[in-house]
Amino acid sequence: MRIRRYPPIIISILILIIGFIVVLNIYDNWKSEEITINNPIVHEVTMENTSLDLKSIIHDAEKSVIQIEGQNDFSNITGSGFLYNDKGDIITNAHVIQNADAINVRTSNAEIYPAAVIGISEEVDIAVIRVPQLAGLSSLPIAEESIAEIGDEVIALGSPHGFQNTVTLGIISGTDRNFSIDGFNYSNVYQISAQISQGNSGGPLIKRDTGEIIGINSVGTQDGTIGFSIPIVEVFDQITRWSNEAQNEQLDFPSVTDLISFSDPDQAIEAAEYLTSYFLESISVRDYVGAYTLLGSSLQLELTYKEFRNKYINIINLEFAELDSSVIENNRLKTTTEVTVERNVPNELETMKETLSFQFTIGYENDQLKILDYSVADS
């Protein structure tokens, strides 16, 4: 008698199907389950990398901000500007450079370069100068179309050296302001609560929540309570035309040699102390690349970037005291300061705090101010 085997086969197939469905559900639940890592070190690193403080934002922005120095037979002129494209073009105010016979710029890391005018308006207070050595550097994003509104928080930056009041915070306190000063017409400008003082003219007005440049800081009231900034959207087409039409071989660049001597000790000390401060601030905000570029070639030969970075990567807080500087032999300067650092202890969940005595030797190398040597000792 033949035995019917269909029922066992059907039952086996059903068991396989049910087993497959169960395994699939287990996999889906595992994949969607949130994984929690209770590791305080991982948590600390995540928090540090996802929240930038205002100091870090300003430090990054100042890399695009340029100090402009003009000269004529009667005076020296100082103002500000900012990079806006990869050609090395710098936007500024017309009144900053209109009376200058020669123009040089100082970057945020104290490098000095000659500049040439590629466009200047006689009616609107805007101008553009070009520094070919700055071509290819990154610049801040520009709000080419959007208009700021009353109440928007803003950051006004001026000279990157900090010789004047370089950074002020405020809000857009008014719009569509119209007036004339010294032959320039200011139309539809922003009124801002951030102060604009001498040396800040030509610097960028940055919208705090987006980091975009929305204006060109131009004038301020004598009491410092109100400033005015030209909306970038109003003048961007003109600026772009100047930039597109300019050819480097047709431009006239002055010599930079007059600005790299130490004939004025006060100016030399001021420049050296700025460079030292910028070096320490770069380490403080973990801009190790920026700090490393300030070192002279001999130091960079002794210390690779990776070695340099490893020396400071565990620092979580850095503060330095007032700088003390003097001119020494061979057109060099010596700058000293006490630096208090707090750092993570490797492989341990604790920090240590110590005070160090830094001594820097500052001088020119290839026409640029550099840290030629520095030493650190426990204080």
In a domain, 345, yes or no: yes
Could you tell me which of 179, 220, 222 has the C-alpha nearest to residue 202? 220
Asked whether residue 242 falls in the same domain as residue 224, the answer is no
In a domain, 40, yes or no: no
What SS3 string covers 132-150? Answer: HHHCCCCCCCECCCCCCCC
Asked whether residue 190 falls in the same domain as residue 246, the answer is no
Could you tell me which of 140, 91, 142, 83 has the C-alpha nearest to residue 120? 91
In a domain, 105, yes or no: yes
Angle subtended by helix axes 54-62 and 265-284, to nearest 10: 130
Range of the domain at 201: 153-234
Asked whether residue 218 falls in the same domain as residue 269, the answer is no
| Distance of alpha carbon 54 from alpha carbon 218, whole angstroms | 23
Residue with tokens 């009491």: 223
Query: Cβ of 96: how many Cβ atoms within 10 Å?
Result: 26
Q: What is the CATH number of the domain that holds 199?
A: 2.40.10.10
Asked whether residue 264 falls in the same domain as residue 369, the answer is yes
In a domain, 79, yes or no: yes
In a domain, 147, yes or no: no
Residue with tokens 């620092």: 315
- Backbone region of residue 151 per phi and psi (left: phi > 0; alpha: psi in -120 to 50; beta: other values): left
- The tally of domains found in the chain comes to 3
Looking at 250, 275, 298, the residue that finishes a domain is: 250
Asked whether residue 134 falls in the same domain as residue 243, the answer is yes
In a domain, 30, yes or no: no
Along the 379 residues of the chain, how does pLDDT read in single tens digits?
444 555 666 666 666 666 666 555 655 554 444 333 333 332 333 333 333 467 777 888 888 899 998 888 787 788 999 999 999 999 999 999 998 888 989 888 888 899 999 999 999 999 999 999 999 988 888 988 878 899 999 999 887 554 544 788 999 999 999 999 989 999 999 999 988 877 788 999 999 888 889 999 999 887 777 899 999 999 999 999 999 998 888 888 876 555 555 557 887 888 889 899 999 999 998 999 999 999 999 999 999 999 999 999 999 999 999 999 999 988 899 999 999 999 988 777 788 999 999 999 999 888 788 999 999 876 5
Q: From residue 106, how far is each of 253, 271, 288 by CA, in Å? A: 15, 10, 21
Q: What is the CATH number of the domain that holds 327?
A: 3.10.450.100
| Distance of alpha carbon 361 from alpha carbon 95, whole angstroms | 37
| DSSP label at residue 249 | G
State the DSSP string of 209-245: TT--EEEEEEEE-TTSS-EEEEEHHHHHHHHHHHHHH
Contact 84, 139 (CB under 8 A): yes
Asked whether residue 336 falls in the same domain as residue 202, the answer is no
Asked whether residue 305 falls in the same domain as residue 323, the answer is yes
Asked whether residue 229 falls in the same domain as residue 374, the answer is no
Asked whether residue 242 falls in the same domain as residue 177, the answer is no
Q: Tokens representing 34?
A: 């949130």
Let me know if 127 is exposed, middle or buried by CB neighbors in 10 A (0-12, 13-18, 19+). buried
Asked whether residue 264 falls in the same domain as residue 368, the answer is yes
The β-bridge partners of 370 are: 363
